[in-house]
Amino acid sequence: MNKDELRRCMIARRNSQNNKDIEKKSQTIISNLSKLSVYKYSKFIFVYVSFRSEVITKGFIMNAIKDGKRIAVPLTLAEKKIIQPCEIRSLNELAPGTWGILEPKKGNYKVVDSSQIDLAIVPGLAFDYSFNRLGYGAGYYDRFLPSMNSLAIKIGICYDFQLIDSLPAEKYDIPMDVIITEKRLLFRDPNKISLRK
């Protein structure tokens, strides 16, 4: 199966879940994420705003803000094929943007230096046991992730069926440090990150 076929397969499988399953799995994934020491000690978190059948992140964003974290979410600049991290203090600062995804409202956002981010929560259509990620194919995260501090922790969150044995990897692909599903947590370097507070 090539990348495009795998993308179509994963989107179809993800969309076949009912809302109750999506919510339950998302709650488990976010609970596991919130127990990581890297979350406890992080100061500035970049996190995608969930769309359609993706792992739900809106509750995580609200709780992280309550916990005193600085939060940045992606603003898509489709004409340049890039995303910019924009700091928000409330979900009320978001409105439907590119492709209907919630983004910081036009003319009312604060772009931040991506090197300040110490934790990134990254979406994907599939991940593998070598911590590679398969995105939607436009390369937005391939361009964004290298702009972050090299010490920033990158966490891929997905449903367990999106974790597969192997993905075709390119030289420019940035591996994740952690992958979290509703059934497991995988650490690329177990000595670097602990689970509990």
Query: pTM of the full predicted structure?
Result: 0.95
pLDDT tens track of the chain, all 197 residues? 899 999 999 999 999 999 999 999 999 999 999 999 999 999 999 999 999 999 999 999 999 999 999 999 999 999 999 999 999 999 999 999 988 999 999 887 899 999 999 999 999 999 999 999 999 989 999 999 999 999 999 999 999 999 999 998 888 789 999 999 999 999 998 777 655 44
Domains and CATH numbers, the chain: 3-187 (3.40.50.10420)
Amino acid at 161: F
CA atoms of 54 and 25, how far apart (whole Å): 11
R_g (Cα) of the chain, nearest Å: 16
Q: Of 123, 119, 141, nearest to 192 (Cα)?
A: 119
